[in-house]
Chain A
Amino acid sequence: MSQSTSPDDVDLIQLLTPTGQRVDRPDYSPRIAHLDATALRGMYRDMLLTRRFDTEATALQRQGELGLWAQSLGQEAAQVGSGRAASPQDMIFPAYREHGVAFVRGLELTKILRQFRGIDHGGWDPKDHNFHLYTLVIGSHTLHATGYAMGMQRDGVVGTGDPQRDAATMVYFGDGATSQGDTNEALVFAAVNNAPVVFFCQNNQWAISEPTSRQSRVPLYRRGQGFGIPSLRVDGNDVLACYAVTSEALERARSGGGPTFIEAFTYRMGAHTTSDDPTRYRSAAEEQYWRDRDPIDRLLALMKAEDAVDDAWLAELDEEATAFGEHIRTTVRSFERPSSDFMFRNVYAGPHAIVDDERAWFEAYQRTFVDVSATAGGH
């Protein structure tokens, strides 16, 4: 196994081994002590339904229903573990693969598919779940998140000591983004301003076809240390460890302790997007190595060992997942094209003369078509 895919065990924070055995760590085990069987089942359900959503969306792309799809396959533990550690008042900035975080935040997942179908620039109101829109530009949102966190400082919602009030920002990005200028600038600003932001880097080993080994001479979390930010590496396929380290980091941020850089060591089991063919640049042996470390199997092994789950519950979940898949398919197929003035609506907060002109021109242009009235969605 190459250096890029095997973590340096000394640095790796792990609370659950790949075979589902607990690891006792005085520093982090107390942070998951309160997670009982119900909580474990909840995490399992989140991960399983996220995967179902992802599988369904991939199939929909292959059926011509979506223009593109970015899979979350294999990264469910990193997303669900960290997402569950966040409080409702925390603000989350996802990249474009954080379907598991979206699910945990309570977003109706089919809303994500509006963008990938090309009928919407976003799909939801970020304020509804304190979950920002997906950002397709690599790393640019790390700056948005840092700025938002600095705004939280100015709003006085950091370090007040009131757990209902104190808030933080968390931003998700990948290994490739750590090589972007934007991300490095964000780390500079976050560090010197002591901003309440958690940088959650999912190192899934591949920036499209570029392995991490060609991106960095040091483990990625040490890039954070270079900016003077407390940084650590967690087993990204261990949902419990991801939960523990993220809750610690968010707590530090909310209390005024500043930023944290988390490198979740995980693996993109699918392609970069549906336009990518990973068999061209990585080996079947490497994929098998990570299939043996599947985050969902790992949690299931633990739950079975601790009698936290029975067959009836699993069967019920299976049925729920099937119905969920059906719901996704029917919802996507019934999406209607939004009216043509939709894209002009949220350009500025208030009315704007240029936008109004453009809207009027576009509506006139639309009326020259036989099959569509100016505002109707068409087929």
Chain B
Amino acid sequence: MPVFEKFKMPDAGEGLTEAEVVVWHVSVGDRVEVNQPLLEIETAKSLVELPCPFAGVVTELLADIGQVVEVGAPIVVIDVDPDGAPDQLVEALAVTEVAAAALGQAVPRPPAEETPRTSVPIGDLEAANHAGLAGSGIEGGVADDAAAAAGAGAAGAAGSGAVLVGYGVSAAGSARRPRVGMTPIGADLPVVSTAPSASAALAAPAPAAHTHPVLAKPPVRKLARDLNIDLSSVTPTGPGGIVTREDVLAHVERSAAAVLATYPGDEMPWLDTGTVSADGRQTRVPVKSVRKRTAEAVVSSAFSAPHVTVFQTIDVSRTMRLVEKLRNDKEFADVRVTPLLIAAKALVLAVRRHPEINASWDDERQEIVYKHYVNLGIAAATPRGLVVPNIKDAHRLGLHTLAVEIANLTATARTGRTSPADLSDGTITITNVGVFGIDTGTPILNPGEAGILAFGAIRQQPWVHKGKVRSRWVTQLALSFDHRLADGELGSRVLADVAAILGDPAQGLVWG
């Protein structure tokens, strides 16, 4: 018969409490082997691949990409005996309940999160404990105070005082355990009003049945009136069923923030993990991951390095001819040749003629750090946001290798596998806004760099060529630079050189 095993979020580092799901390598229905990579998670420390502990068939994925999951919470359900009869499902669930009961509890599980889950929904004491809901009314009793006073000996049993090893091994082991002589669990548990599980409804007084007047003190009644809240809809936690001030505020918070349901294929992925306002007209999304890093980077750059941007419009018809020629060249048969490649080469050559631009301002030590290598950054739009990986030692690469590196780097970025090493120690950057059909922009420097080139769209335009107006391929370049270490002359010369090479790639031979 089907036997369902749940894989719980492990502590992949030392003492981590949560991790974000980055990508799933499997989907529901997939057959998996032991140690087969299931998913990648991002912890506070690193990107980690989690191997599957079971062989079987994936029955359910319990966490979405981008979701931050607590250590110990189940993330995937796997049927380790997929060839059994499906009508045994109920029995398998019953076993789960018995297991929970064996832990000493017929405990309602307050929903760990508000997303309803369809299978294995009950009896999951461990998840509840990890969510910090169960047992909160129990802690701090007399026995616990005694334990605290007694010191370290007790700490291990209660799961605090993390040591080198031994936590995260067993979720139940690190959760608080029930104690003798305490209040029955459930009696003083706050019951979350959204999506209560079936067992919770059985064990806790149903808050909805109000045949009697609601009990609350006058200031609380006024508060409820001011907030336009029906007191009878608030779950009371005070002694004797009184609605407290905290109950009202908690109710406001819950009803104000509903989780926005999103599904694969939704056209608004940026709303993932957001909460919708009470009137349904706004969604607030926590800033994290790539978005957060991008924000930090542009703020630090924009408000510490005084940016100057210079522009030049040029005829790149000869570059377009060269691109065409290279595309038909046997040597370049294995790689895509684009105008960006020639622009990258041109920028490297310009840096070679003006190495002062390839530098970094060290504010702390009041020094300018000149780099004798070019790590060429390419800004890439990825599903996870903007990343700027760089090509190491681009100044040493021939045109073909450079093309291969650009292709690899953008492909890696799009799959979200860019490593921290690829992102660090860039010296100068190109942003190819032309791919979006834009003429040019005033780019913000990648922190720690002194120059960034925006490469605009290339269009056929009327242009005076050899004394006559002709249709030519024209583009606009923009170069932002850090005025602390580069003056207008230097920045202008760098851009003029890039423009000269793109105008006539043969110039690259002269300077190369």
Interface residues of A (CB under 8 A from B): 56, 59, 61-68, 115-119, 136, 273-277, 279-284, 329, 337, 358, 361-362, 365-372, 378-379
Contact = CB atoms under 8 A, between A and B. Distances in A.
B361 interface: no
Contacts of A379: 103, 170, 172-173
Interface of B: 7-14, 34-35, 45-53, 102-104, 143, 147, 150, 153-154, 157, 163-173, 177-181, 392, 419-421
B179 A366 contact: no
B421 A279 contact: yes
B14 A67 contact: yes
Nearest to B172: A379
Nearest to B72: A64
B154 A276 contact: no
A59 B35 contact: yes
A116 to B, nearest CB: 5
7 closest residue pairs by CB, A with B: A118-B166, A64-B10, A277-B46, A67-B165, A63-B53, A371-B104, A370-B104
A179 to B, nearest CB: 21
16 contacts: A62-B49, A63-B7, A66-B165, A66-B169, A67-B164, A115-B165, A117-B165, A118-B169, A275-B12, A281-B421, A283-B421, A365-B147, A365-B157, A368-B143, A371-B104, A379-B170
Given A63-B7, A68-B164, A279-B419, A371 B13 contact: no
Contacts of A63: 7, 10, 50-53
Q: Chain A at the B interface: mostly helix, strand, loop or mixed?
A: loop
Contacts, number: 118
Contacts of A61: 10, 12
A276 B46 contact: yes
B14 A370 contact: no
A372 B177 CA distance: 9
Nearest to A329: B34
Given A119-B166, A280-B46, 10 more contacts: A62-B51, A63-B53, A67-B11, A67-B164, A67-B168, A118-B165, A119-B169, A279-B421, A281-B421, A367-B180
Contacts of A274: 12-13
B254 to A, nearest CB: 31
A284 B13 contact: no
A66 B177 CA distance: 21
B321 to A, nearest CB: 36
A64 B8 contact: yes
A62 B47 CA distance: 12
A284 B419 contact: yes
Among A66, A136, A281, A367, the most chain B Cβ lie within 10 Å of the Cβ of A66
Contact of A365 (B11, B12, B150, B168): B150
Among A62, A281, A378, the most chain B Cβ lie within 10 Å of the Cβ of A62
B151 to A, nearest CB: 10
Nearest to B34: A329
Contacts of A279: 46, 419-421
Nearest to A369: B177
Nearest to B180: A368
B186 to A, nearest CB: 15
A249 B170 CA distance: 45
A69 to B, nearest CB: 9
Contacts of A277: 45-48, 420
A156 to B, nearest CB: 39
B167 A118 contact: yes
A64 B169 contact: yes
A133 to B, nearest CB: 14
Nearest to B147: A365
Contact of A280 (B165, B170, B420): B420
A64 B11 CA distance: 6
B243 to A, nearest CB: 32
A7 to B, nearest CB: 24
A198 to B, nearest CB: 28
Given A66-B165, A329-B34, A371-B177, A361 B51 contact: no
A62 B165 contact: no
Among B11, B53, B157, B169, the most chain A Cβ lie within 10 Å of the Cβ of B169
Contacts of A276: 45-46
A116 B10 contact: no
Contacts of A62: 10, 12, 48-51
A284 B47 CA distance: 16
Contacts of B104: 370-371
B381 to A, nearest CB: 23
A63 B171 CA distance: 12
Nearest to B103: A371
A358 B164 contact: no
A280 B419 CA distance: 8
B166 to A, nearest CB: 2
Contacts of A65: 10, 53, 169
Contacts of A368: 143, 179-181
Contacts of B102: 371
B131 to A, nearest CB: 17
A62 B13 CA distance: 9
Given A118-B166, A283-B421, A284-B421, A337 B173 contact: yes
B362 to A, nearest CB: 20
A105 B253 CA distance: 62
A361 B146 CA distance: 11
A56 B51 CA distance: 10
Given A62-B12, A365-B154, A117 B177 contact: no
Contacts of B147: 365
A371 B46 contact: no
Contacts of B53: 59, 63, 65
A63 to B, nearest CB: 4
B55 to A, nearest CB: 11
A284 B420 CA distance: 11
B180 A280 contact: no
A47 B47 CA distance: 28
A117 B169 CA distance: 6
